[in-house]
Amino acid sequence: MRHFKLSFGLYIAMLCSTALADHPNEGQIVITQLINEAEQKSLEIKQAEENLNTLKSKSNSQYGRYSPKLSIEGGPQTTNFDGEKQSDTSIYGKAEWNIYSGGSDKAAADQNKSEVEIEERRLQIIKNKVKNDVSKIYYEIQFLLESITLKKKALELNSQQIKIAKAKNNSGFTTNSDVLEFDLRDSTLQSDLILLNQQLEQKSRDLNIVLSKKNSQDVIQVKGHLERVSTDFNRNYLIQRIKTHNEQILLSNNDLKKIQAEKKIAESNYLPKLDLEAKYGKLANEEKVFNNKTNYAIALKVKIPLFSGFEDYNLNKSLNAKNQAIQHEINQKNISLDSEVDILLSEIKALNSRLDLEEKNIEKSEKYYKLTLDEYKRGVKNSPDMVGASERLLDARIRNLEYRRDLLLTKMKIQNLVGE
């Protein structure tokens, strides 16, 4: 009996000191390390960079429209007019210069320049998205590691409780059901651990995908605790930033600028065209090849469009309608995104309120646990009371982790929304 009291006293001291056990911070991988790795290895970022290089090269090629075009033309020609046959080969140098195209060249160049600027912003958005994806998985892994630690500590304590329950049972203080209560809790905790470890493996695989790494069976051990972050957002700032940095709005604006460039190109069909053409060498026309090898021809060609069967008119009308449709699309997206911002801000407010309550609940659960433990020691409480108090404290601590994690993930959603 004396041995039981001594063991029970030591167990109580150990239980009080370890009831608040936290994630031991075993991992060495920090979030900045993973973000840097993602920026260097992400295939999504590399794809966006190549798309940007493609558009830059295309934009540079547009300047060629303003330069003269030089070529060598000619070839064998055979004619037969009124029985008179003639066969010869023409060869000459040709220079063509588009002096004025009604503004279509400038519109095309402006369009490509705009696409480059938008793609540069889109690249930054993708980099921010990858960074937020890494951060999201990092915090989810932190949550799982800390939850696993809490469950393992609960298992250790439950194991000690089983020993005490058996000792009390052998001494005639309790029945067999007292021991069974702790056995059932052991099975439940073991089952929870299996699920948490499976989720940890899955999150490690998800992180490898973001990092564009081949799949590995290794579970990633990250460093750090789930901290309660500051979430002081300015709504007006978020709404304003969405209009210039949100990916959905960015893509719609890109479509809008393309339509506006197409409109300028279509409007150029109403304007005159001015081209300079020069030839030098052994020239030919449809009837014959001229013998002299030093012929030349210079022509300034002016083209004034008069009537195109309403083709240009209907094309402009179509582009105007498409322009209006995209404007309506952008306005609708802004309304939807504004609402999404309000929903996320409301979610953050609720999570902060719940965290305030949950932190108080932890204190109350700890106090309830200690009181129950003391009463269990004196025989006032039985095993279901002890199990209930243990579960209440464990649930309160895990809920606290869940709300901290959800607060961080909601913050990531807002940053994704505004392109940060």
> What are the C-alpha distances in Å from 179 to residues 49, 162, 169, 184, 296?
63, 6, 8, 9, 111
310 part of a folded domain? yes
Q: What is the CA radius of gyration of the chain?
A: 38
6 part of a folded domain? no
DSSP output for 219-237? PP-B-S----------HHH
Predicted local distance difference test score (pLDDT) of residue 16? 47
3 part of a folded domain? no
16 part of a folded domain? no
What value does the mean pLDDT take over residues 4-11? 47
Q: Given pLDDT bands bounded at 50, 70 and 90, which one contains residue 4?
A: very low
Predicted local distance difference test score (pLDDT) of residue 97? 77
What value does the mean pLDDT take over residues 325-335? 90
Q: Is the pLDDT of residue 420 over 70?
A: yes
Domain count, the chain: 1
Query: Which domain, by its residues, includes 63?
Result: 27-417
Q: Is the pLDDT of residue 350 over 90?
A: yes
Q: Which of 196, 169, 201 is nearest to 182 (CA)?
A: 169
> Residues 118, 126: contact at Cβ < 8 Å?
no
Q: Which of 188, 181, 149 is nearest to 164 (CA)?
A: 181
What value does the mean pLDDT take over residues 403-408? 93
> Residues 401, 143: contact at Cβ < 8 Å?
yes
Q: Given pLDDT bands bounded at 50, 70 and 90, which one contains residue 73?
A: confident
| pLDDT tens digits, one per residue of 219-239 | 788 887 888 888 888 999 999
What value does the mean pLDDT take over residues 276-292? 79
Gap between the Cα atoms of 365 and 357, Å rounded: 12
5 part of a folded domain? no
Predicted local distance difference test score (pLDDT) of residue 102? 67
Q: Is the pLDDT of residue 14 over 50?
A: no
Q: Is the pLDDT of residue 20 over 60?
A: no
Predicted local distance difference test score (pLDDT) of residue 197? 92
Predicted local distance difference test score (pLDDT) of residue 217? 67
CATH assignment at residue 93: 1.20.1600.10
349 part of a folded domain? yes
382 part of a folded domain? yes
Q: Is the pLDDT of residue 76 over 90?
A: no
| Residue-averaged pLDDT of the chain | 81
Q: Is the pLDDT of residue 15 over 60?
A: no
Q: Is the pLDDT of residue 345 over 90?
A: yes
The total of other beta-carbon atoms located within 10 Å of residue 10's CB is: 11
Q: Is the pLDDT of residue 185 over 80?
A: yes
170 part of a folded domain? yes
What value does the mean pLDDT take over residues 114-127? 85
Predicted local distance difference test score (pLDDT) of residue 409? 93
Share of the chain above pLDDT 70, in %: 87
Predicted local distance difference test score (pLDDT) of residue 346? 94
| pLDDT tens digits, one per residue of 352-366 | 999 999 889 988 998
Amino acid identity of residue 234, one-letter, is N
Q: Given pLDDT bands bounded at 50, 70 and 90, which one contains residue 342?
A: very high
Q: Given pLDDT bands bounded at 50, 70 and 90, which one contains residue 113?
A: confident
Q: Which of 92, 105, 66, 63 is nearest to 278 (CA)?
A: 92
What value does the mean pLDDT take over residues 335-349? 93
pTM over 0.85: no
Which of 107-121, 196-210, 331-345 comes out lowest in average pLDDT?
Answer: 107-121
Gap between the Cα atoms of 235 and 238, Å rounded: 5
Q: Is the pLDDT of residue 168 over 80?
A: no
Predicted local distance difference test score (pLDDT) of residue 232? 86
Q: Is the pLDDT of residue 18 over 70?
A: no
